[in-house]
Amino acid sequence: MKSRPKGMPSEENFEFKEEELPNLQEGQLLLKSLYVSVDPYMRGRMSDAKSYVAPYNLNEPIAGGVVAEVVESRHEKYQRGAVVLGNLPWQTYSISDGKGLSPLDPDLGPLSYHLGILGMPGMTAYCGLLYIGEPKEGETVVVSGAAGAVGTVVGQIAKLKGCRVVGIAGSDDKTAYLKNELGFDEAINYKTTSNMREALAAACPDGVDVYFDNVGGEISDAVYSLLNKFARIAVCGQIALYNATSVPTGPRVEPILLKKSALMKGFIVSDYAARFPEAATEMVSWLKAGKLQYEEHIVEGFDQLPQAFFGLFRGENTGKLLVKVADF
Ligand code: NDP
């Protein structure tokens, strides 16, 4: 990262560098990046504002979820040819001392799934929806950012729980995908709908019991006005505001929460780390039983990383956006 973005990030904020890696020391492994994840939270880390994770440093690589192959090992736990998941730098190759790496089981699904449905975004969807949203059969669940990595999983789990599911996304292709492929009851294109509140009211004739918020901003303002008594709101993401250059303001939500006895809770997926094993077991069983569908938007080539990342903010992806760097 060469400079910190103001507003939407651009190529100017990045620089490609070529460096020789040193020889491996005892206890180290050489990793070849196979799949690199691009995620909205990275935008927050590019800024130096205080947050729940430290900012990226200037003139150092961005780091995030990477699936990598061990190509050389002087580490007792890892053999050459093993595949691992780690929080690793955006590099084609990197050296690790093994800390924070987890070996991947190829039987659980394709390797790339560990950056999506079987990884952080999948856990986010599962934990946020089930532990905060607590959807009950017959209730109405609205999810914004519905066609992305987290949103597609949220909507499908809500359907498995017997809910009416309404998704909000940014294109007609996405809304058609949500309804026709994933079984959402309704889907609204927020970019072509002039009155979101009216469109939502029509899609949610019985009001909204659970709102899984991936985007914030005006989309969420429209949802709040339709909350039912005892509604639950899982505040997962605010991507509509990540590139804002001034402090965003909006209608006050507290009077609505008060009148509706509604619960609004922000969360970071790691809050639920103790429950990941049970969540992962259920997700794998749903996936293997064909009860969950999963879409990936794979961009090829390490040099495409910045553009792939910008794609998140341009809504280019349906499903999980990631970059394939090398073959396994
Ligand atoms: P997605 O795969 O959903 O990609 C981002 C999507 O956001 C885009 O495809 C785009 O779809 C939509 N979007 C972009 N800009 C806007 C905007 N201005 N207004 C409305 N929608 C917009 O990403 P993820 O599934 O990885 O993440 C979804 C959200 O969840 C993010 O806000 C992320 O920060 C958050 N998150 C939170 C976690 C936590 O621990 N709390 C963990 C993981 C993710 P469209 O075409 O519909 O506009």
For ligand 1, the distance from its centroid to the CA atom of residue 142, given in whole angstroms, is 15
State residue 215's pLDDT score.
98
For ligand 1, the distance from its centroid to the CA atom of residue 278, given in whole angstroms, is 25
Ligand 1 nearest atom to the CA of residue 235, by list position: 41
Let me know whether 70 and 85 are in one domain: yes
Let me know if residue 4 belongs to a domain: no
Q: pLDDT, tens digit, for every residue of 261-311?
A: 999 999 999 999 999 999 999 999 999 999 999 999 999 999 999 999 999
Let me know if residue 280 belongs to a domain: no
Q: Please give the average per-residue pLDDT across 29-47, as a whole number.
A: 97
Tell me the CATH number at 21.
3.90.180.10
For residues 27 and 50, the model is more confident at 27
Let me know whether 303 and 246 are in one domain: no
Let me know if residue 95 belongs to a domain: yes
For ligand 1, the distance from its centroid to the CA atom of residue 64, given in whole angstroms, is 16
Tell me the CATH number at 232.
3.40.50.720
Which DSSP string do the residues of 259-295 spell out, in sequence order? HTT-EEEE--GGGGGGGHHHHHHHHHHHHHTT-S---
Whether 3 and 49 have beta carbons less than 8 Å apart is answered as: no
**In this structure, what token pair is assigned to residue 300?**
């090829």
| ipTM of the complex in this document | 0.99
Let me know whether 89 and 125 are in one domain: no
Cα(293)–Cα(217) distance, integer angstroms:
28
DSSP one-letter code for 153 = H
Ligand 1 nearest atom to the CA of residue 243, by list position: 18
Q: pLDDT, tens digit, for every residue of 93-146?
A: 999 999 999 999 888 889 999 999 999 999 999 999 999 999 999 999 999 999
For ligand 1, the distance from its centroid to the CA atom of residue 201, given in whole angstroms, is 23
Task: For residue 188, give the 3-state DSSP assignment.
Answer: strand
Let me know if residue 207 belongs to a domain: yes
Q: pLDDT, tens digit, for every residue of 191-230?
A: 999 999 999 999 999 999 999 999 999 999 999 999 999 9
Q: pLDDT, tens digit, for every residue of 233-265?
A: 999 999 999 999 998 888 899 999 999 999 999
Longest dimension (CA), the chain: 64
Ligand 1 nearest atom to the CA of residue 168, by list position: 47
For ligand 1, the distance from its centroid to the CA atom of residue 232, given in whole angstroms, is 20
Cα(144)–Cα(162) distance, integer angstroms:
19
Looking at 272, 287, 309, which one is the last position of a domain? 272
pLDDT grade for 167, boundaries at 50, 70 and 90? very high
Residue closest via CA to ligand 1's atom 39 equals 268
For ligand 1, the distance from its centroid to the CA atom of residue 215, given in whole angstroms, is 6
Residue closest via CA to ligand 1's atom 9 equals 315
Let me know whether 251 and 308 are in one domain: no
Q: Residue by residue, what is the 3-state secondary structure of 299-317?
A: EECHHHHHHHHHHHHHCCC
Q: Residue by residue, what is the 3-state secondary structure of 154-184?
A: HHHHHHHCCCEEEEEECCHHHHHHHHHCCCC
Let me know whether 151 and 262 are in one domain: yes
Let me know whether 111 and 217 are in one domain: no
Mutate to test the pocket of ligand 1, among 182, 190, 215 (most ligand atoms within 8 A of CB): 215
Let me know if residue 278 belongs to a domain: no
Query: Structurally, how many domains does the chain consist of?
Result: 2
Let me know whether 267 and 146 are in one domain: yes
Let me know whether 256 and 131 are in one domain: yes
**In this structure, what token pair is assigned to residue 17?**
């560098």
Let me know if residue 287 belongs to a domain: no
Using CA atoms, how far residue 61 sits from 15, 67, 131, 326, in Å, is: 9, 16, 34, 18
State residue 234's pLDDT score.
98
For residues 248 and 63, the model is more confident at 63
Q: Which DSSP helix (H) or strand (E) runs through 210?
A: strand 208-213
Let me know whether 141 and 175 are in one domain: yes
Average pLDDT, the chain: 97
State residue 50's pLDDT score.
86
List ligand 1's pocket residues with C-beta within 6 A.
39-41, 121, 124, 145, 147-151, 169-171, 174, 214-215, 219, 236-240, 267-269, 312-313, 315, 317, 321
Percent pLDDT > 90 in the chain is 95
Residue closest via CA to ligand 1's atom 33 equals 237
State residue 49's pLDDT score.
87
State residue 107's pLDDT score.
85
Residue closest via CA to ligand 1's atom 7 equals 145
Domain around 95: 11-116+295-324
Let me know if residue 108 belongs to a domain: yes
Q: pLDDT, tens digit, for every residue of 40-60?
A: 999 999 999 888 889 999 999
Let me know if residue 282 belongs to a domain: no
Let me know whether 225 and 141 are in one domain: yes
State residue 128's pLDDT score.
98
Let me know whether 154 and 192 are in one domain: yes
Let me know whether 131 and 257 are in one domain: yes
